[in-house]
Amino acid sequence: MTISVRLVAAGIVCAAVLGAGPASGDPERIVDQYAAAASAQQSRLNGASMEVDIQARLPKLQKQGRLVALRHISNLGRITYDAVRFEGDRTVKSSVITRYLTAESDAQSTRQRSLKVTPENYKFKYKGVVSEDGRQAYLFQVTPRAKRVGLFKGELLIDAETYLPVRESGRFIKNPSIFLKKIEFVRKYEVRDGVAFPKSIETVVDTRLVGKAELNIAFSHFSLEDRTHLAGSISEAMPVGRGQ
C-alpha cells in the first residue's frame, strides 16, 4: 500500500513557477513580452509568504487529508512550509502531501530551469483572445520541444495588460513511472500589482494500482514581506528539503 501511495505522490509532484498594453495580432511579440515579464517577476516573489490549504484524496482507498500551512519563499528563492494544522489520514500526509512539498522545493533548483514554460522549452501557437476572471487574456497552445518528465502539452493564458500568466493547464507528456497512466492539472494565478500570485492548483493522477488521486491547493493571504517571525506561533514546523 505504501509503495502505491508513493507512486501517486510521484505523479502529483510532476504536476508542480510588464508590458505596455495589448499586442493583439502579434503572437511573437506577446510571447517575448510574456517571457520578459515572467523572468522579471521571479525576484519579486522572493521574500514573500502566503497561506496554503492543501487537500489530497485517494477515492478508491477512501483516504484523504488536509493540511493548512504558511508558505515562505526566502530572499534566495528557497521554499519552506510551517504547518498550522492537519486533519485526515496520516499516510496521505506523509506519502502524498509532504512528498509534493519536498519536490516543489527541489524544483526551485537550477537544474529545473529546463521545465519552465518559456520559448526555449515550448512551442507557442496563438489561439486568440479570451476572457479570464473578467480580464482580457491571450490564449496559446503550448507543446514541449523535448519529451522530458515535467513538461506538458496544453494551454497557457497570458494576461493582456501585464503579460503575466493567469492559467496553465494540460497533461504531462511523460510519466515518471510505468504505474501512472496520465497526469492532468490546472494552475491558476491572480495578477496584482504587477505580480502573478499563485491562486490554485488542481491535479488529477490516474494510476494503475490505486485508481485516481486528487490534489487541490488553494493560496491566500499573500505578503511580499518576510513573515518568518510568525513561525514561533505555528504548532508544527515542516521545513521542506531533499530526503524529507
Spatial separation of the C-alpha atoms in residues 184 and 47, rounded to whole Å = 30
For 27-45, the pLDDT digits (tens) are: 999 999 999 998 888 778 8
Neighbours of 109 (CB within 10 A): 11
Place of cell 491547493: 217
Burial of 91 (0-12, 13-18, 19+ CB in 10 A): middle
Angle, CA of 130, 134 and 137, to the nearest 5°: 35
* Range of weakest confidence among 23-27, 39-43, 216-220: 23-27
The full set of domain ranges for the chain reads 2-238
- Look up the pTM and report it: 0.79
Residues 6 or more apart whose CB falls under 8 angstroms from that of 167 comprise: 132, 137, 155, 156, 157, 186, 187, 188, 189
For 80-139, the pLDDT digits (tens) are: 889 999 999 988 888 788 878 777 766 665 445 677 899 999 999 999 999 988 889 999
Place of cell 507528456: 173
